[in-house]
Amino acid sequence: MKDNIAIACSGLCLLHCLATPIIISLALFGAASSAFESPWVHLVLLIPVIILALLSLPFSYIQHGSYLPMTLVSLGISALVSTFFLPEQYEFWITVPAALFIMSGHFWNRQLITKNVQMMEPSNG
């Protein structure tokens, strides 16, 4: 469940990253477009991503024993945090792959947990 929520949060981050330049270039929302660029929006999107990763991945690792999901999500979160310290022109090119890393890590984590649960169930054969 936490992985599904984390995937959705990362998807919102990805949508924000992809939609903001389009909204600004079309000037559809005027003042609202500047709110999309605000640093607080990035923090509001990043905080749940970090919290869900901390609540989900360490406990899942205990179940399935694979470092891959944690590695992917950690790389993605590190990249997102790095955008606060890099020039703005790099933000889009870093955040899009970072969101995809995070989504992939949580998806892979969910797959491993599902596989682990299926292996533990007694067979009907």
Q: What is the mean pLDDT of residues 93-104?
A: 90
The beta strand positions in the chain, using DSSP E, are none
**Digit-coded pLDDT (tens) for 40-82:** 777 888 888 898 889 888 988 988 899 999 999 999 999 999 9
Please give the C-alpha separations between residue 67 and each of 62, 72, 88, 111, in angstroms, as whole numbers.
10, 9, 31, 13
List the structure tokens of 112: 């491993």
pLDDT the model gives residue 115: 85
Average pLDDT, the chain: 81
Burial class of residue 85 in the structure, from the number of CB atoms within 10 Å of its CB (0-12 exposed, 13-18 middle, 19+ buried): exposed
* pTM tops 0.85: no
The domain ranges of the chain are: 2-120
The encoded tokens of residue 48 equal: 């749940």
- Residue 55 belongs to what H/E stretch? helix 39-64
